[in-house]
Amino acid sequence: MLISVIFYFVVGFQLWLVSHHYAKRACHGLTALQHTSTPQESTVEQQKPVDFAKFISLFKRANQVIFSLGLSSLVLLLYWELEQNFQPPSMFAVVLFMIQLTPFALIDVTEKRHFQWLKQVIHQPKRSGSIVKRTLLTFVPLKLMLVALACILLTIVFDLSVHANQQPLWQGFNEQALHRSITLIITNGLLFALVFNTIYSQKKDPQQAQANHLDRVKFTVQSLFYLSIAMSCYFTLQSLLVALAAEHWSASATAVYAVVVAYASVGNRVRCMNNTTI
């Protein structure tokens, strides 16, 4: 009973956080972007490529539909569990989160079109290089990097050691443990690639001050490192649940992990739009 309560509470919170709270704050950010001023001396006669009012309305409806469908799915899962003792799928929260991401992905496309238009109508001085040397240590404390790396290594060692010689696949290592370790390495590799892409990326908004851009880069990069640490903790927990034959906790653990990822990804995106910490 406790497992079910945790699962439905966490997934319900995920629904509210992403499809209501973050969606609402994203609308505030889009509204502010809609009123971005354009110098009157601009001679470019071109209409704005983005109809913000229409996009915001579509964005709101999409999140409302996802919220309603997600809530209906939770009610259906609860009914099946009570009537047929059906256990919620362990990856339900992750699949739901991927669906919730869809409207937010469209924001990037909209902002890119808007900023490209701004660059055409705003007369800017010739771009000069930043005096700030962009390296990983510029944006991320060494301690945080070492903690993230240690978490990855400890997770792999723990997983392979705990499940050693259990249905060995290669060199005495358990098949599932080996697959989890490979997945962790590949996923972190993608995260670190995203880190370096963020560090050396140019600012998209031509009206944004360079100092604000560097602050946003720092915040985003550090969020990705914290996400890596959270991922290692999740993989360790999954390994522990398998070792203790407690896989029935897997759905709840995955739901908590999905909320953490939502906070670090969608939450970071929305906070950057609104320059807030919530």
Confidence category of residue 45, pLDDT binned at 50, 70, 90: very low
pLDDT at 264 over 50: yes
Q: Which residue has the higher pLDDT, 123 or 246?
A: 246
Q: Could you give the CA distance from residue 9 to residue 18 in angstroms, rounded to a whole number?
A: 14
Do residues 199 and 225 touch, judged by C-beta distance below 8 A?
no
CB proximity list for 3: less than 8 A, separation 6 or greater: 248, 249, 251, 252
pLDDT at 125 over 60: no
**Interval 48-68: pLDDT, tens:** 666 788 889 999 999 999 999
CB proximity list for 121: less than 8 A, separation 6 or greater: 38, 39, 42, 44, 46
Confidence category of residue 3, pLDDT binned at 50, 70, 90: confident
Query: What's the whole-number mean pLDDT along residues 208-219?
Result: 78
53-67, 176-190, 196-210: least confident range: 196-210
Q: Which residue has the higher pLDDT, 169 or 263?
A: 263
Q: Mean pLDDT score of the chain, rounded to an integer?
A: 82
Tell me the domain boundaries of the chain.
1-36+49-122, 131-245
The pLDDT value recorded for residue 110 is 81
The pLDDT value recorded for residue 259 is 94
Q: Which residue has the higher pLDDT, 204 or 135?
A: 135
Query: What's the whole-number mean pLDDT along residues 65-79?
Result: 94
The pLDDT value recorded for residue 19 is 95
The pLDDT value recorded for residue 178 is 78
Determine whether 73 is exposed, middle or buried from the number of CB atoms within 10 Å of its CB (0-12, 13-18, 19+): middle
The pLDDT value recorded for residue 157 is 87
Do residues 4 and 251 touch, judged by C-beta distance below 8 A?
no
Confidence category of residue 245, pLDDT binned at 50, 70, 90: confident
Task: Tell which residue, 220, 198, 228, 227, has the closest CA to residue 273.
Answer: 220
pLDDT at 171 over 60: no
Q: Which residue has the higher pLDDT, 171 or 146?
A: 146
